[in-house]
C-alpha cells in the first residue's frame, strides 16, 4: 500500500506546479506565512493538498469548448456571409438631371420652391413668351404671303400659257398661209404658161395672116383677087396682130401674178418664222411654281419652330421628381442649355453597394436584397439586383500608371492583398415617399432567389 500511495501522494500537474510557483513569486509574504505555519505545526507536516484534479480538467475542457465554439461561429459567419453577401459600404442613388430651358429670355414666373415634389407635366417656371408669340405670328404671315405669291404666279403662268397657245395658233395660220401662197404660186405659174402658149398661138396666126396678105397683095394688081378679099386679109392680119399684143399683155399679167404669189409665199414664210419665234418666246416665258412651292416646307418649318419655342416657354417637369438646388428668382435671364436647378427622378431609387470581387459570383441580377438605411435602421426595404459593374479605376499602387509610352510598373511588394470592390446596382421595390435621399448610407444583404 505504501508503494501504491506514494505516486498518488506526490501526483501534481505541471501547470499546477507552475501556477503555485508563480503565486509564490508574486506573493512572497504568503510563502513566508506558509513557512512559519509549517514551523509551528511541525517540520514534518506536509502542505495542504491542491484542488481536485477534476476541476483542472473541467477548466481545460471549457477552454477548448470555447475555442471550438468560436471557430464554429466564425465558420458559420463566413458561410452565411458567402451565401448571403452583405455590406454596409452602400449609398442611396437616384437618376437626376440638370434642368435647363430650351429658349432664351427673362423668367416671368417661378412656380416651385426648393425641395418641392413635382409631378410630370407640372409647370416649373415660365420664360417671357411674347417674342416667341410674335415670331409665330410672323411665321404664319409669311406662309400666307407665300400662298398669295403662288396664286399670283399661277395667274401669270396661265396668261403666258394662253399667249403661247395664241402664238401656236398664229404659227398654224402662217403655215396654212404658206400652203395657200404655194398654191397661188403654182396657179400663177400655170397661168403664165397658158398665157405664153396663147401668145405663141397668136403669133403663129398673125404670121400666117401676114404671109398670106403678102402673097395676095401682088395678085390685086393683076386682078386675080378682089379688093375686098385683100381688105379682109388685111383686117384679119391686124386683128391677129392685136391678138398677139393681147396675149403678150396676158403673159405679163400672169407673170405679175406669179411674182405676187412668190411675194405672198415669202411673206407667209416670214409669218411662219415670226409666229414660231413668238411661240418659242412665249413658251420660254412660262415659269413654274416650283420656286414658290418649294418654299412651303421652309414656311411650315418656321411655323413649327416658332410653335416649338413658344411651347417651351413654359418649362415643365419631364417626370415625377423633386426640385433641388433651386437658386432661381423671377426676373433672372434664362439661357438655352444653361442649367438653372436640378431634378431628382423619384420614380426609381437605387442603392449602389460595393462588394468584394470574391462575393460577385454569389450576386446575380434578379436576386432579392434587404436594404436598411442608416437613418432608419429598423425599417426593411426590399430591392432586387439590377447589375454589377464590370470595371473600376485600377489601383495605381498595384498596377502602376497606364500612360503613353512604356508601362510604369510599381516595385512595391504588398504582403497583404486587398480584394477589389465593385459597385452593384440594386433597384428599390416600392420605395416609400420622402424616405430616400441621394447619398444616404445603407446596409444591404443579398438574400438570393428566395422571396420575402
Residue 143, C-alpha cell as written in the block: 406662309
Distances (CA, A) of 117 to 154, 343, 345, 437: 58, 9, 10, 13
Alpha-carbon gap, residue 330 to 132, rounded angstroms: 19
* pLDDT for res 47: 55
> Is 260 a residue whose pLDDT tops 80?
yes
> Is 50 a residue whose pLDDT tops 60?
no
Which has more pLDDT, 351 or 15? 351
> Is 195 a residue whose pLDDT tops 90?
no
| DSSP strand pairing (368-373 vs 441-448) | antiparallel
Which has more pLDDT, 333 or 164? 333
Q: What is the separation, in whole angstroms, between the first and last Cα of the chain?
A: 73
Provide mean pLDDT across the span 226-236. 80
Which has more pLDDT, 30 or 448? 448
* pLDDT for res 129: 95
Which has more pLDDT, 11 or 338? 338
| DSSP strand pairing (376-388 vs 421-428) | antiparallel
> Is 83 a residue whose pLDDT tops 70?
yes
Max alpha carbon distance in the chain (Å)? 243
Q: Report the SS3 class of residue 223.
A: coil
Provide mean pLDDT across the span 81-108. 91
> Is 417 a residue whose pLDDT tops 80?
no
Give the pLDDT confidence of 364-413 residue by residue, as tens digits.
999 999 999 999 999 999 999 999 999 888 777 666 666 677 777 766 66
> Is 334 a residue whose pLDDT tops 80?
yes
Nearest by Cα to 318 from 131, 99, 102:
99
Alpha-carbon gap, residue 16 to 14, rounded angstroms: 5
* pLDDT for res 126: 96
Alpha-carbon gap, residue 12 to 404, rounded angstroms: 75
Which has more pLDDT, 402 or 216? 216
Dihedral sign, CA of 274, 275, 276, 281? positive
Nearest by Cα to 103 from 311, 290, 332:
311
* pLDDT for res 13: 39
> Is 176 a residue whose pLDDT tops 90?
no
- The percent of residues above 70 in pLDDT, for the chain, comes to 83
Residue 218, C-alpha cell as written in the block: 401682088
* pLDDT for res 403: 67
In DSSP terms, 356 is beta-bridged to 421
Distances (CA, A) of 97 to 109, 342, 343, 345: 21, 6, 5, 8
Q: Which of the four pLDDT bands, split at 50, 70 and 90, describes residue 211?
A: confident
Which has more pLDDT, 330 or 178? 330
* pLDDT for res 135: 96
Give the pLDDT confidence of 22-36 residue by residue, as tens digits.
444 444 444 444 444
Provide mean pLDDT across the span 279-307. 85
* pLDDT for res 205: 86
* pLDDT for res 82: 63
> Is 337 a residue whose pLDDT tops 60?
yes
Contact 314, 126 (CB under 8 A): yes
* pLDDT for res 424: 96
Nearest by Cα to 415 from 393, 395, 398, 394:
398
Round the average pLDDT of the chain to a whole number and report it.
82
Which has more pLDDT, 73 or 32? 73
- Domains of the chain (ranges, CATH numbers): 2-83 (no CATH), 90-127+314-448 (2.40.50.100), 132-293 (1.10.287.620)
Which has more pLDDT, 288 or 120? 120
Provide mean pLDDT across the span 313-323. 95
> Is 9 a residue whose pLDDT tops 80?
no
- The percent of residues above 90 in pLDDT, for the chain, comes to 37
Provide mean pLDDT across the span 100-129. 95
Provide mean pLDDT across the span 84-111. 94
Contact 16, 60 (CB under 8 A): no
* pLDDT for res 113: 94
Provide mean pLDDT across the span 209-236. 79
Alpha-carbon gap, residue 280 to 105, rounded angstroms: 57
Which has more pLDDT, 209 or 145? 145
Contact 353, 426 (CB under 8 A): yes
Q: Is the pTM of this model over 0.75?
A: no
DSSP string, 97-137: EEE--SS-EEEEEE---TT-EE-TT-EEEEE--HHHHHHHH
* pLDDT for res 282: 76
Provide mean pLDDT across the span 280-291. 77
Amino acid at each position: 500500500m505504501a508503494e501504491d500511495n506514494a505516486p498518488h501522494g506526490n501526483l501534481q500537474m505541471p501547470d499546477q506546479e507552475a501556477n503555485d510557483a508563480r503565486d509564490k513569486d508574486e506573493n512572497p509574504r504568503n510563502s513566508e506565512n506558509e513557512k512559519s505555519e509549517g514551523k509551528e505545526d511541525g517540520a514534518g507536516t506536509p502542505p495542504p493538498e491542491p484542488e481536485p484534479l477534476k476541476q483542472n480538467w473541467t477548466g481545460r475542457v471549457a477552454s477548448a469548448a470555447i475555442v471550438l465554439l468560436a471557430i464554429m461561429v466564425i465558420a458559420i459567419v463566413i458561410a452565411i456571409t458567402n451565401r448571403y453577401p452583405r455590406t454596409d459600404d452602400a449609398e442611396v442613388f437616384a437618376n437626376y438631371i440638370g434642368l435647363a430651358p430650351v429658349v432664351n429670355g427673362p423668367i416671368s414666373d417661378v412656380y416651385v420652391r426648393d425641395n418641392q415634389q413635382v409631378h410630370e407635366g407640372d409647370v416649373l417656371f415660365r420664360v417671357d413668351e411674347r417674342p416667341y408669340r410674335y415670331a409665330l405670328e410672323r411665321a404664319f404671315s409669311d406662309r400666307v404671303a407665300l400662298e398669295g405669291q403662288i396664286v399670283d404666279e399661277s395667274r401669270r403662268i396661265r396668261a403666258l400659257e394662253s399667249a403661247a397657245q395664241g402664238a401656236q395658233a398664229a404659227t398654224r395660220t402662217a403655215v396654212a398661209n404658206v400652203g395657200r401662197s404655194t398654191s397661188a404660186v403654182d396657179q400663177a405659174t400655170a397661168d403664165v404658161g397658158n398665157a405664153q402658149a396663147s401668145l405663141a398661138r397668136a403669133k403663129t396666126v398673125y404670121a400666117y395672116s401676114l404671109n398670106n396678105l403678102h402673097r395676095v397683095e401682088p395678085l390685086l394688081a393683076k386682078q386675080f383677087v378682089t379688093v375686098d378679099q385683100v381688105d379682109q386679109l388685111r383686117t384679119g392680119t391686124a386683128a391677129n396682130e392685136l391678138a398677139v399684143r393681147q396675149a403678150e399683155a396676158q403673159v405679163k399679167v400672169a407673170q405679175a401674178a406669179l411674182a405676187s404669189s412668190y411675194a405672198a409665199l415669202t411673206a407667209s414664210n416670214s409669218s411662219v418664222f415670226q409666229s414660231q419665234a413668238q411661240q418659242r418666246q412665249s413658251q420660254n416665258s412660262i415659269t413654274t411654281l416650283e420656286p414658290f412651292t418649294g418654299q412651303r416646307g421652309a414656311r411650315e418649318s418656321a411655323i413649327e419652330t416658332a410653335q416649338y419655342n413658344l411651347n417651351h416657354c413654359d418649362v415643365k417637369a419631364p417626370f415625377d421628381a423633386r426640385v433641388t438646388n433651386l437658386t432661381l428668382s423671377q426676373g433672372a435671364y434664362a439661357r438655352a442649355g444653361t442649367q438653372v436647378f436640378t431634378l431628382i427622378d423619384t420614380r426609381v431609387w437605387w442603392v449602389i453597394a460595393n462588394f468584394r470581387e470574391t462575393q460577385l459570383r454569389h450576386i446575380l441580377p434578379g436576386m432579392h436584397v434587404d436594404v436598411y438605411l442608416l437613418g432608419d435602421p429598423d425599417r426593411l426595404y426590399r430591392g432586387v439586383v439590377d447589375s454589377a459593374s464590370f470595371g473600376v479605376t485600377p489601383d495605381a499602387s498595384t498596377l502602376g500608371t497606364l500612360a503613353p509610352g512604356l508601362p510604369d510598373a510599381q516595385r512595391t511588394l504588398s504582403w497583404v492583398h486587398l480584394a477589389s470592390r465593385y459597385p452593384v446596382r440594386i433597384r428599390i421595390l416600392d420605395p416609400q415617399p420622402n424616405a430616400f435621399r441621394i447619398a444616404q448610407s445603407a446596409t444591404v444583404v443579398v438574400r438570393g432567389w428566395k422571396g420575402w
